């Protein structure tokens, strides 16, 4: 379950969202091209811009909208062993519960997760049972994705003395404030723990934007590949998914 906060024209509305509802929101948001970012506790932030009529006649203004999904049970620390177990389950379409000496274990085609670990994965809400099969919960999926794409930006160099052989070594000779002869390096690199991002921004806010674009791109790809329901099952029993996204 998620706490769902919708920022709309008249303020914010709080409610709860089931995994099914949250999944539908994400799938629809991705189809509409809305920006999605996942969070390490296993939640998500959906943002988009609407063009609405402004106060005057014939004025159209941009209005920012968002939906925040915060899990009631955050995924917590995803250690190497937990991630390895979750990878096993996610990668095996036959994963299911089995009984061993009266205790529940998770079994795949060629592997099993012992009872103690199975109990912990269940208690942490990382696995769910669907139609007799064990699969990852939405919070587990989102938490893993956030863990795989931890971005950071480097501190700009700032003022420095030109090094020997610097092609711009003589730049800025007339700068005031003791900066004569010094160079300013405002550039900042954006990198991601996945290794798939190495971008450079002219300043740190540009680097942060590049990092955010990367996180949004991987989230959009994940939602399109993993969360898009088959045709005909594109419905959530709540009946208000569409409303949430047209606030
Ligand atoms: Zn990444």
Rounded to whole angstroms, the Cα distance separating 51 from 119 reads 49
Q: What phi and psi, each to the nearest 5 degrees, are found at residue 55?
A: -65, -40
CA of 211 from ligand 1 middle (Å) equals 8
Q: What is the pLDDT of residue 61?
A: 83
Q: What is the pLDDT of residue 45?
A: 97
Rounded to whole angstroms, the Cα distance separating 11 from 109 reads 50
CA of 70 from ligand 1 middle (Å) equals 22
CA of 7 from ligand 1 middle (Å) equals 28
CA of 40 from ligand 1 middle (Å) equals 13
Model's pTM, two decimal places? Answer: 0.84
CA of 189 from ligand 1 middle (Å) equals 14
CA of 155 from ligand 1 middle (Å) equals 19
H-helix or E-strand containing 121? helix 115-123
CA of 233 from ligand 1 middle (Å) equals 30
Whole-angstrom CA distances from 107 to 83, 85, 88, 124, 238 are 16, 11, 10, 18, 33
CA of 13 from ligand 1 middle (Å) equals 32
CA of 191 from ligand 1 middle (Å) equals 8
Q: Is 47 left (phi over 0), alpha (psi -120 to 50) or beta?
A: beta
Residue 230 has pLDDT above 80, yes or no: no
CA of 197 from ligand 1 middle (Å) equals 6
CA of 219 from ligand 1 middle (Å) equals 10
pLDDT in tens, 139-181: 999 999 999 999 999 988 888 777 766 665 555 556 666 667 7
C-alpha count within 13 angstroms, C-beta hemisphere, residue 213: 12
CA of 196 from ligand 1 middle (Å) equals 5
Q: Angle 43-46-52 (CA atoms, 0-180°, nearest 5)?
A: 155
DSSP class of 7: E
Q: What is the pLDDT of residue 171?
A: 54
CA of 88 from ligand 1 middle (Å) equals 21
Residue 107 has pLDDT above 80, yes or no: yes
CA of 245 from ligand 1 middle (Å) equals 27
CA of 124 from ligand 1 middle (Å) equals 25
CA of 178 from ligand 1 middle (Å) equals 41
pLDDT in tens, 201-215: 999 999 999 999 999
Longest Cα–Cα distance in the chain:
82
CA of 195 from ligand 1 middle (Å) equals 6
- Structure-block tokens of residue 76: 């917590």
Residue 182 has pLDDT above 90, yes or no: no
Q: Which residue has the higher pLDDT, 162 or 221?
A: 221
pLDDT in tens, 30-43: 999 999 999 999 99
Q: What is the pLDDT of residue 59?
A: 81
């Amino acid at each position: 379950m998620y706490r769902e906060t919708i920022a709309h024209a008249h303020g914010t509305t709080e409610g709860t969202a089931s995994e099914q509802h949250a999944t539908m929101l994400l799938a629809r948001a991705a189809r509409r091209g809305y920006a999605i970012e996942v969070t390490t506790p296993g939640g998500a932030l959906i943002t988009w811009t609407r063009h609405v009529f402004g106060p005057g006649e014939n004025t159209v203004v941009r209005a920012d909208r968002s939906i925040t999904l915060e899990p009631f049970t955050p995924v917590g620390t995803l250690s190497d062993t937990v991630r390895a177990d979750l990878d096993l389950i996610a990668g095996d379409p036959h994963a299911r519960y089995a009984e061993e000496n009266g205790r529940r274990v998770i079994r795949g085609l060629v592997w099993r997760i012992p009872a103690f670990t199975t109990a912990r994965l269940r208690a942490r809400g990382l696995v769910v049972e669907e139609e007799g099969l064990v699969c990852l919960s939405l919070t587990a999926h989102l938490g893993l994705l956030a863990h795989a794409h931890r971005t950071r930006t480097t501190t700009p160099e700032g003022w420095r003395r030109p090094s020997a052989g610097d092609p711009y070594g003589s730049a800025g000779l007339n700068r005031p404030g003791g900066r004569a002869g010094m160079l300013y390096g405002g550039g900042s690199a954006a990198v991601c723990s996945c290794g798939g991002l190495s971008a450079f921004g002219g300043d740190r806010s540009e680097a942060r934007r590049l990092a955010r674009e990367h996180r949004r791109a991987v989230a959009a790809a994940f939602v399109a590949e993993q969360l898009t329901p088959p045709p005909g099952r594109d419905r959530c029993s709540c009946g208000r998914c569409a409303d949430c996204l047209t606030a």
